[in-house]
Structure 1
Amino acid sequence: MDPAPSPASSNLARQINLKWLHRLITSSIGRKFIMGVTGLLLCGFLVGHLAGNFLLFKGEKDFNEYAEWIHHQKLLPLIELGLLLLFLAHIYLAFVTTFENRKARDQKYVVKESKQYDLTLPIPAHNWMFISGSIILGFLLLHLVDLRIGIRPDFVYTDSAYANTMQAISNPIGRIAYIVGPIILGFHLAHGFASAFQSLGLTHPKYSGLIYKFSIVFGIAIGAGFASLPILVPGMANRSAKPATTTSTATTPASAVDLPAHD
């Protein structure tokens, strides 16, 4: 006969009871709360990611040093796992919320509860957020295939993070994707950032307008920042390589004066 559980173990079982988490996930308010939290955390990641990518403007050495520093962080696997869970949770909740909105069309998306500070869109905001989010998901998968997993068959991957990144944003089709994707992301953030504050109940008539304006500025800054990379960086790299062509065309091999073939 098994011994009865001790009072200490019973208290521990009660402390780690996850029924509250189940209630949070299954309730409409709880899901919107989690979606707001995950959205804001992902916004923070985008700020840091954009800051690192801006090193592309400084050149190959600085960007490769940054990439090398990132890859040598001992907590990188945990950070990547956390990011993956954030993305999955946000995407799952987006699908669930959209399904609920379509099932009960008389209920509006949390952002529509306040029409005073809402984006003027040709389609309902909750539909636009779902459509733009789906496009961003496709762009994210492309980005992972290009630079994280590295399985594009038309790419020649090297040990240089700069060269691989240049290859992705210089490719004709990829260049369009890396311009359009961030623009859609910017529109998504311009609405979603303010929506996250409303989902968390952090709105008030005194500063809701300020949050709305900052949300638009934030969306424009992130979208324009990422889109500027494929627009400007390849041209800058080409111009920096041109002086080498005027030194000695007779003795310098053609492959040494052009960008690498994989760019």
Structure 2
Amino acid sequence: MRRLRMATADGWVMTRRNMAHLVRTPEEAALYFTLPIMFVLVFGYVFGNGMSVAGGADGGGGYREFLLPGVFAMTMLYGMGATGGQLATDASRGVVDRFRAMPVARSALLTGRAAADLLRALTEMTVLLVCGLLVGWEWHRGAGRALLAVALLMMLRVAVTWIGIYLGLVLGNAETVGAVVFPLAFPFTALSNVFMSPELMPDWLGAVSEWNPLSATVAAIRELFGNPGVGGESWAADHAMLLAVAWPVALTALFAPLALRRYQRLGR
């Protein structure tokens, strides 16, 4: 119990350190919060005026309401690049080695990074929701379900944060992390239900899309927000809410121990 309290306290110190770094580098903060706004505006207006939703609304607000939940989830996914890049920068500058030599909990650096990323993601999500409302997106099923949708998005962010932490420790270079994250994340975005309903895809591609972890979160939050694009003819489509919880839990359970093990091996 005493070790747990110490690890929690050390993790909080590291969280504050990471948040302070963000405040002291306004150019990074501007990038973090400008990118979600650009996602909403570009995808909302460029795609939102000329595409349709399977079995439902056409163009304009209809497609925009279909699209915006996907943009929310996509923003959470691409956040792993910033997480991995910052940790790789710490590793390349010897910051990780210095913390390893200090009398702090071994897990504190990583849990502090994960907690700081979650706090940043909550701020990003607030910006996204406001921007979504400004471009004509709405939620229709009450504040409670909307908050539950945000909770699912945060679960997805926690999972991809640990993937980003693992990549940062393995690659050890921010530029390399940036070069790897986009090719890794792009297929999950393209082969998902973010931009198009799986019903409009070829059968085999639709099946891949429905079992995509990103698609599970997007389908679940569309249902919670009351936006179009819900449902389907497969087990994955009918149980999107279950998969939206199961996928992040499974990914976190896989990559958090891998990241901790990699961190313990550094410098050996």
TM above 0.5, yes or no, is no
Larger radius of gyration: 1
What TM-score results when the alignment is normalised by the length of structure 1? 0.30
